[in-house]
Amino acid sequence: MGRYVFKLPDVGEGTAEAEIVAWHVKVGDAVGEDQNLVDVMTDKATVEMTSPVSGKVLSIHGEPGQMAAVGSPLVELEVEGEGNVKPGAAPMKTEAPKPVAPKPVEPTPKPKPAEVVPLHRTPEPQREMRTLTPAMRKIGDKPVASPAVRERAHELGIELQYVAGSGPAGRITHHDLDTYIENGGRGAVAARASGYAPRDGIEEIKVIGLRRKIAEKMQDAKRRIPHFAYVEEIDMTELESLRAHLNKTKHKDQPKLNVLPFLMRALVRTLPQYPQINARFDDDAGVVHRHAAVHIGIATQTANGLIVPVVKHAEARDVWDSALEVARVASLARDNKASKDDLTGSTITITSLGTLGGVVTTP
Fold of 226-356: Chloramphenicol Acetyltransferase (3.30.559)
DSSP bridge partners of 356? none
**Residue 188 pLDDT > 80:** no
Residue-level pLDDT at 124:
46
Percent of the chain whose pLDDT exceeds 90? 37
Contact 41, 87 (CB under 8 A): no
Residue-level pLDDT at 105:
47
Contact 58, 77 (CB under 8 A): yes
For residue 327, count other CB atoms closer than 10 A to its CB.
Answer: 13
**pTM higher than the cut 0.85:** no
Choosing among 3.30.160.20, 1.10.238.10, 3.10.310.10, 4.10.320.10, the CATH entry for 122-194 is 4.10.320.10
- Choose among 249, 236, 234: nearest CA to 320: 249
Domain edges within the chain: 2-79, 122-194, 226-356
Mean pLDDT in residue range 265-282: 94
Residue range 50-90, pLDDT digits in tens = 999 999 999 999 999 889 999 999 999 999 888 888 776 65
Q: E strands along the chain, which residues?
A: 2-7, 17-23, 30-31, 36-42, 45-50, 55-60, 67-69, 73-79, 122-124, 127-129, 279-282, 287-290, 296-298, 300-302, 305-307, 310-311, 348-350
Residue range 314-343, pLDDT digits in tens = 999 999 999 999 999 999 999 888 887 898
Say if domain 2-79 classifies as CATH 3.40.50.300: no
